[in-house]
Amino acid sequence: MSVRHFLTLLDLSPDELVAVLDRAVELKQLQRDNKVHESLKNKVLGMIFEKSSTRTRVSFEAGMSQLGGSAIFLSPRDTQLGRGEPIEDSARVLSRMLDVVMIRTFEHSIIQKFADYSKVPVINALTDDFHPCQLLADMQTYREHRGSIQGRTVTWIGDGNNMCNSYINAARQFDFELNIAAPKGYAPNEELVKQNKQRVNLIADPTLAVKGSDLVVTDVWASMGQEDESNQRMSDFDGFQITPELMDNAQSDSLFMHCLPAHRGEEVSASMMEDPRAVVWDEAENRLHAQKALLEALLLN
Ligand code: CP
Ligand code: NVA
């Protein structure tokens, strides 16, 4: 059987994604009950990070330990990857030693090339275009709080970035409606929007966009690698901050999510982070459980 990768949410079928979430809930309960569950005993995960991380690194590393395996942190600063060894050579070598590889990098084409040459599953831990692992956690979190997201309405407010593109894929795979309010010039991937036009609505005004919404989501205005654009973006995104007052326009039982790290006073107000509708800490924790389920799905078929 050919090796399965997880580069975007489209790499698993809708049924497989639901199975991953079912398993994530079971694994969360096992951990809550302090039950030892070593389904990935002796398996080794390689973690290549070309950008910073707190949640992704710790959730993958802790997850592998909890499942009886281990993880190796690889930074370009101290591997030959950082000195120009070709991706395809690195992929061929590392995949002869590891059971699974996780990569956080810049261009999406880098991870695609690595996957093309890898004999073992490759997981996208964030590229400039997509962040599918975060969506597993977000979907698990919605389900735990409100049940199935199918047929619901989600609103994305802010940059049409890697998270926003991933929400478009999620709308397709989990079957929900997605409103997107992004400032002019910051719309998500045009092709992706076109492919999903029957469920994705671009609405310029954030207040109109959150109307009737069951879940409201945002992310930083300047992603990793866009630090130089920070000042320009602060002024371009004026009026796109999520506050409790903006949330009041959504459904009364609407939830708020943010993949974190959050910049209070920019894309989200400090009060919104403490609002009872915010489920950001559950969302962050679920990175651990959802990725353990993903690792099992990719390694144990
Ligand atoms: N949300 C997320 O991916 O966080 P880190 O950048 O800390 O991994
Ligand atoms: N869009 C953000 C997500 C961080 C988890 C970034 O790419 O920096």
Rounded average pLDDT over 171-199: 98
Please report, for residues 110, 187, 252, the alpha-carbon distance to residue 123 in angstroms, rounded to integers and kept in the order given: 12, 26, 36
Same domain for 113 and 154? no
- Whole-number Å distance, alpha carbon 220 to ligand 2 midpoint, is 7
Same domain for 140 and 126? no
* Interacting residues of 131 by C-beta distance below 8 A, sequence separation 6+: 124, 162, 163, 166, 259
Contact 295, 63 (CB under 8 A): yes
75 belongs to a structural domain:
yes
The residue whose CB lies within 8 Å of the most ligand 1 atoms, and thus the one to mutate among 73, 126, 162, is: 126
Same domain for 234 and 170? yes
39 belongs to a structural domain:
yes
Q: If you search the block for the tokens 């930083």, which residue do you land on?
A: 220
Residue 126 Cα: closest atom of ligand 2: 7
pTM: 0.98
269 belongs to a structural domain:
yes
pLDDT above 80 for 1: no
4 belongs to a structural domain:
no
Rounded average pLDDT over 276-295: 99
Helix (H, G, I), strand (E, B), or coil: what is residue 111?
helix
Alpha helices, DSSP H only, in the chain? 14-32, 55-66, 87-97, 108-117, 132-146, 162-174, 190-195, 206-210, 230-236, 244-247, 270-274, 280-300
- Whole-number Å distance, alpha carbon 42 to ligand 2 midpoint, is 31
28 belongs to a structural domain:
yes
Q: How far is CA 124 from the centre of its chain?
A: 9
Name the residue among 128, 148, 131, 130 with its Cα closest to residue 139: 148
3 belongs to a structural domain:
no
* Interacting residues of 121 by C-beta distance below 8 A, sequence separation 6+: 3, 4, 5, 6, 100, 101, 298, 299
Report the number of distinct structural domains present in the chain: 2
1 belongs to a structural domain:
no
In this prediction, residue 296 carries a pLDDT of: 98
Rounded average pLDDT over 205-221: 98
Same domain for 111 and 188? no
CB of residue 31 inside a 6 A radius of ligand 1: no
58 belongs to a structural domain:
yes
Same domain for 274 and 160? yes
Same domain for 239 and 189? yes
Same domain for 148 and 123? no
- Report the alpha-carbon distance of residue 188 to residue 171 in Å, rounded: 14
- Report the alpha-carbon distance of residue 106 to residue 129 in Å, rounded: 8
Q: Which ligand has the shortest distance to the CA of 167?
A: 2
242 beta partners: 268
* Torsions phi, psi for 287 (to 5 deg): -55, -40
* Interacting residues of 9 by C-beta distance below 8 A, sequence separation 6+: 17, 130, 132, 135, 166, 169, 170, 172, 173
Sequential DSSP letters for 148-177: --TT-EEEEES--SHHHHHHHHHHHHHT-E
In this prediction, residue 70 carries a pLDDT of: 98
Same domain for 113 and 159? no
- Whole-number Å distance, alpha carbon 63 to ligand 2 midpoint, is 21
Residue 56 Cα: closest atom of ligand 2: 5
Other beta carbons within 10 Å of 16: 12
Contact 235, 186 (CB under 8 A): no
Same domain for 68 and 176? no
Which residues are tagged catalytic? 104, 131, 134, 219, 259, 287
Same domain for 268 and 291? no
Same domain for 62 and 102? yes
Q: Which ligand has the shortest distance to the CA of 133?
A: 1
pLDDT above 80 for 166: yes
CATH no. for residue 230?
3.40.50.1370
Same domain for 118 and 142? no
The residue whose CB lies within 8 Å of the most ligand 1 atoms, and thus the one to mutate among 219, 224, 259, is: 259
Other beta carbons within 10 Å of 39: 15
Range of the domain at 35: 9-130+284-300
pLDDT band with cut points at 50, 70 and 90 for residue 301: confident
Q: Which ligand has the shortest distance to the CA of 52?
A: 1
Name the residue among 204, 226, 276 with its Cα closest to residue 247: 276
CB of residue 54 inside a 6 A radius of ligand 1: yes
pLDDT above 80 for 125: yes
Rounded average pLDDT over 79-91: 95
Contact 256, 272 (CB under 8 A): yes
Q: pLDDT tens, 37-82?
A: 999 999 999 999 999 999 999 999 999 999 999 999 999 989 999 9
Torsion of CA 48, 53, 55, 58, to 10 degrees: 50
Q: pLDDT tens, 179-191?
A: 999 999 999 999 9
Residue 51 Cα: closest atom of ligand 2: 8
Please report, for residues 73, 171, 188, 200, the alpha-carbon distance to residue 166 in angstroms, rounded to integers and kept in the order given: 25, 9, 10, 12
Question: Which protein residue has the closest C-alpha to ligand 2 atom 6?
Answer: 223
* Interacting residues of 293 by C-beta distance below 8 A, sequence separation 6+: 20, 21, 23, 24, 26, 27, 136
Contact 162, 152 (CB under 8 A): no
With a Cβ cut-off of 6 Å, ligand 2 is lined by 126, 161-163, 219-220, 223-224, 259
